[in-house]
Structure 1
């Protein structure tokens, strides 16, 4: 897979950060949901399996002391469709390391 350098990749680290923060702090199962934005572009966003048995969308924010993950309740990209794929966080990280050519950097 070739990555076009002009495509923003902010959702990759954001989704991993949110998933890890929430799993560490709340001890809840997390995953990465992958949605299509257009024919060539995907969007990734973390989800948490909440106490009521529902998957909820996560996002991050600065709380004055550190970055925190919180339940956003919706996708954070306005053009993202319904997810077509769900990935374990570690699997997503491994995939993205290869796609982004980071094997020798991380």
Structure 2
């Protein structure tokens, strides 16, 4: 089950289940945070509602939907890393650019 969640083959597990798993296996600190993050991201049929977002947001979501199957693991990892870097700058007051 955990492997299926990690690989995005199962839907997002309920928060309570994730916490029970963490407690059962006595997972601590960073590992527990990582498992929570993986569980939160584990959704094999992601949907993005861009109704009240900009045209650029809609374009990005649409392009990703059309082309994600063409991207290899390296490209996906690169895009994820770049997105995370950008979000990290925003969270730490570095602005949006």
TM-score scaled by length of structure 1:
0.29
Q: Which gives a bigger RCO, structure 1 or 2 (Cα 8 Å, sep 6+)?
A: 1
Question: Which has the larger strand fraction?
Answer: 1
Question: Which has the larger helix fraction?
Answer: 2
User: Larger C-alpha radius of gyration, 1 or 2?
Assistant: 2
